[in-house]
Structure 1
């Protein structure tokens, strides 16, 4: 079967429509498995609520944390949690890559006339991310209602861009590690700890050691998709660079990760090889 020739615009439309089909399947799964969906929602509420409870207890003892007020920290936490939930719900492919290779599913993906990475992304949505997504947005709204934020169309657009950038940065970091499975038999012992590092960026970077701040900003740039966009919304006079720096970081990290992915997939010889 010959693949029809398309220009870049037609190809973008085709891939967008194909991913839309994957999302339809995902949504049908949520509806079909109502009990699992409800459990995921409740689990998300409990997980995020426990952190809010922790912050509440802390702020009963201190008025501010590194010059950040309670509702500012809640907003930081809400944006970071929402970004992570988007990544978990829609870009969970790095955690599935090893399984695809071991089960021979990667071989099947490679003979289809669609990019392997898109297939992996479309087949790897995570149900548990839905509950955290709902509660993360609610937490942001709750904190924003208590802060002097100007919710203009531009602000809302930046929030959307920041959340997508956060998900892309996380995906790029984890994809970079998971690609190593083309050469190394087991990478899960690395990918899970690196994923857990993201939780540090739910809090002001000033409370951490400079080495950790540098790691989360320049090496594993999770802070560029969580702390800094939230800080820009709360204190634009101090973090004005984040308006363009956050989406730029997402483009750069994803480009580097995709280059490594392309290098690895070209050297993949099949599970039977």
Structure 2
């Protein structure tokens, strides 16, 4: 209850701060929409030259992209730690965080919260609704909890991978970072996994499991029965990678000795 109370207090203060600069907030919304529109246009351009892509139709690809946006939006809103190395290690702000009686990772997540990223989830629902209507998909009451389970699992996969990457800073405080490269790799998870060669499919499934964020959970709603097992592995992979990242974080915190002078 203490952590929940702290979370809502941080959220309230964040909203108050953002509402002081409404124009900046609108610009951020517009920027996110433009980014999502570009990715959607790319899919439409590809299917302007072909009817199928390795057995996948245009509307199925659009549905996968829409689903991908939901867990990605949650990740962007609550696990925005791409600048952890620069801000907390190089500049020494982690010292301030460690003086407080709250878990260090929890504090950093709250400090770097970006609730405006949740707009991506709204866009994702709209895109899924459009594609689902064209595909005549049937939904049942039990699909709602399954959907939530898949979305949370996908969010934890992203969080686990990027938190694990952030922990490298505890052993190497160099300014260089592989975060941007990993963001680019993660984009492959928004497309059907079987359009890639075997090595890439393996990496995106078991090493950097971004396929569990988009294509695998979407396969359940698209009726791809051959991938149902992978679909229901999504929350399992999410918990596994997040727990692993948390263990790495705790080990790194124990090793941390403070900023130099």
What is the TM-score with the length of structure 2 in the denominator?
Answer: 0.92
**Which stretch has the larger CA shift, 128-137 or 56-65?**
128-137
2:221 is equivalent to residue 222 of structure 1: no
Partner of 2:80 in structure 1?
Answer: 92
Match of 2:157 among 169, 186, 189: 169
SS of residue paired to 1:93: coil
User: For 1:197 and 1:127, how far apart are their aligned partners in 2?
Assistant: 24
Partner of 2:43 in structure 1?
Answer: 55
Partner of 1:5 in structure 2?
Answer: none
Partner of 1:210 in structure 2?
Answer: 198
Structure 2 CA distance for partners of 1:27 and 1:158, relative to 1, 3 Å: farther
Partner of 1:7 in structure 2?
Answer: none
Q: Could you say what the CA RMSD is over the residues aligned between the two structures, in angstroms?
A: 1.9
4+ runs deviating over 3 angstroms:
none
User: For 2:70 and 2:235, how far apart are their aligned partners in 1?
Assistant: 16
Runs of 5+ unmatched residues, structure 2? none
Partner of 1:133 in structure 2?
Answer: 121
User: For 2:50 and 2:210, how far apart are their aligned partners in 1?
Assistant: 27
Structure 2 CA distance for partners of 1:187 and 1:148, relative to 1, 3 Å: farther
Judge conservation of contact 2:157–2:237 (CA < 8 Å) in 1: yes
Partner of 1:192 in structure 2?
Answer: 180
* TM-aligned CA deviation for residue 91 of structure 1: 0.9
Judge conservation of contact 1:97–1:120 (CA < 8 Å) in 2: no
Judge conservation of contact 2:63–2:131 (CA < 8 Å) in 1: yes
After superposition, what is the alpha-carbon deviation per residue over 1:133-183, rounded to whole angstroms, capped at 9, x for unaligned? Answer: 332222122212222322323212222222221111111101111101011
**Which stretch has the larger CA shift, 124-133 or 208-217?**
124-133
Match of 1:158 among 117, 139, 146: 146
After superposition, what is the alpha-carbon deviation per residue over 1:191-220, rounded to whole angstroms, capped at 9, x for unaligned? Answer: 210121111111111111111111111111
Name the count of aligned residue pairs: 261
User: For 1:30 and 1:125, how far apart are their aligned partners in 2?
Assistant: 11
Structure 2 CA distance for partners of 1:29 and 1:231, relative to 1, 3 Å: farther
Judge conservation of contact 1:42–1:131 (CA < 8 Å) in 2: no
User: For 1:155 and 1:71, how far apart are their aligned partners in 2?
Assistant: 20
2:44 is equivalent to residue 67 of structure 1: no
Partner of 1:180 in structure 2?
Answer: 168
2:108 is equivalent to residue 120 of structure 1: yes
Runs of 5+ unmatched residues, structure 1? 1-12
SS of residue paired to 2:259: coil
